[in-house]
């Protein structure tokens, strides 16, 4: 673990998550603070800051510390702020599906999926509504060398169709939600290939890159073979020792690295309102472990 001078970093677990103290995101950060925040993000994969009070502009400025903002396809953005999406569930909504409720990594249905996400809790339930995060690099490290080798040769097929397609779970009346507008589209059904083990472009760590929400199957395997491997990985990736859980307080911010994490929003707060704003940072095309080794 590295040391920090301008911020206090309190890890939640050895594998994932840290709370950060000493930063006010409504003010410009100096170079040292920005560098340390970014380093903590790389080191802990998801960082949490409590008690922030940001305007949408300040939220976007905080997001730009991590790269270029890209928005979320198919999801309506906040009026006047195309770069911010509001994730909301009203107190009276009793929905089977809440937004982000399945384990996922943001936007793996794109050729260049999201690098990072900056989620700001504006209104949070008095109890429940936590977000869980899973460390996909630690999960990769814990596999046997032979299993790692097998997985490194495989490619996953991803799609947004199950969420945002015309017959996806957020299409039309299925959501019975007035709180979020999803533009279901055939475009979401596109099938996109990513390596099952990707190499982090900045740290060089290898991480599993499949998720139950957007990964359809493993390329070139029979359906039952693919399902068996994916189901094994999904159970393995969310073992307690690879996860942390964040209990929101008003004004808290979570910033996660989508290249080495999955997350899910827990839907256990019927009767309470939850309103979050998310800024999403665009990423690169994932690089396979094999390709990275041959380039070295
Ligand atoms: C998301 O998947 O971005 C939503 C997470 C949350 O609402 O906790």
* Ligand 1 site, residue 72, Cβ cutoff 6 A: no
Predicted local confidence at residue 93, as pLDDT: 87
DSSP 171-191: SGGGG--SS--B---GGGG--
Q: What are the domain boundaries of the chain?
A: 8-295
Rounded CA-CA distance 16/25 in Å is 22
Predicted local confidence at residue 73, as pLDDT: 87
Q: Which CATH superfamily groups domain 8-295?
A: Clavaminate synthase-like (3.60.130.10)
Starting at the edge strand found earlier in the chain, the sheet holding 197-199 runs 206-208, 197-199, 287-288
* Ligand 1 site, residue 87, Cβ cutoff 6 A: yes
C-alpha of residue 147 to centroid of ligand 1, in Å: 31
Predicted local confidence at residue 175, as pLDDT: 53
* Ligand 1 site, residue 265, Cβ cutoff 6 A: yes
pTM: 0.96
Over residues 145-203, the pLDDT tens digits come to: 999 999 999 999 999 998 888 878 777 655 545 677 888 888 998 999 999 999 999 99
CA-nearest residue for atom 1, ligand 1, is: 100
CA-nearest residue for atom 4, ligand 1, is: 100
Q: Best mutation site among 85, 107, 113, 119 for ligand 1, i.e. most ligand atoms within 8 A of its Cβ?
A: 119
CB 239 within 8 A of CB 46: no
Q: For 75, which DSSP code?
A: B
User: Considering only CA atoms, which of 72, 105, 64, 97 is closest in space to residue 194?
Assistant: 105
Spans of the chain below 70 pLDDT: 172-178, 294-296
Active-site positions? Answer: 104, 106, 263, 278
* Ligand 1 site, residue 278, Cβ cutoff 6 A: yes
Over residues 109-130, the pLDDT tens digits come to: 999 999 999 999 999 999 999 9
Predicted local confidence at residue 133, as pLDDT: 99
Torsion angle of C-alpha atoms 167, 173, 178, 184, degrees rounded to 10? 20
Rounded CA-CA distance 89/56 in Å is 20
Query: Which runs of consecutive H residues, i.e. helices, occur in the chain?
Result: 31-44, 56-64, 136-141, 145-152, 161-164, 223-237, 289-295
Token pair listed for 295: 């380039």
User: Considering only CA atoms, which of 46, 103, 45 is closest in space to residue 264?
Assistant: 103
Token pair listed for 241: 């020792």
């Amino acid at each position: 673990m590295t040391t920090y001078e301008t911020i206090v970093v309190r890890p939640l677990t050895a594998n994932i998550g840290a709370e950060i103290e000493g930063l006010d995101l409504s003010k410009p950060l100096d170079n040292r603070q920005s560098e340390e925040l970014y380093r903590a993000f790389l080191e802990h994969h998801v960082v949490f800051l409590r008690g922030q009070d940001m305007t949408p502009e300040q939220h976007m400025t905080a997001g730009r510390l991590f790269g270029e903002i890209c928005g979320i396809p198919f999801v309506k953005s906040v009026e006047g702020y195309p770069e911010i999406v509001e994730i909301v569930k009203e107190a009276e909504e009793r929905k089977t599906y809440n937004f982000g409720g399945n384990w996922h990594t943001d936007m793996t249905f794109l050729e260049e999926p999201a690098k990072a996400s900056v989620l700001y809790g504006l209104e949070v339930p008095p109890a429940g509504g936590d977000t869980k995060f899973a460390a996909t690099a630690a999960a990769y490290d814990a596999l046997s060398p032979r299993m790692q080798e097998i997985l490194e040769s495989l490619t996953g097929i991803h799609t947004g169709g199950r969420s945002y397609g015309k017959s996806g779970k957020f299409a039309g009346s299925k959501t019975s939600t007035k709180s979020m507008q999803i533009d279901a589209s055939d475009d979401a059904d596109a099938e996109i290939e990513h390596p099952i083990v990707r190499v982090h472009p900045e740290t060089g760590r290898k991480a599993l890159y499949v998720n139950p929400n957007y990964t359809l199957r493993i390329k070139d395997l029979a359906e039952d073979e693919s399902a068996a491997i994916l189901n094994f990985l999904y159970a393995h990736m969310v073992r307690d020792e690879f996860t942390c859980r964040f209990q929101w307080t008003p004004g808290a911010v979570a910033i996660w690295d989508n290249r080495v994490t999955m997350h899910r929003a827990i839907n256990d707060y019927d009767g309470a309102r939850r309103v979050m704003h998310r800024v999403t940072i665009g990423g690169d095309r994932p690089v396979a472990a094999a390709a990275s080794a041959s380039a070295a």
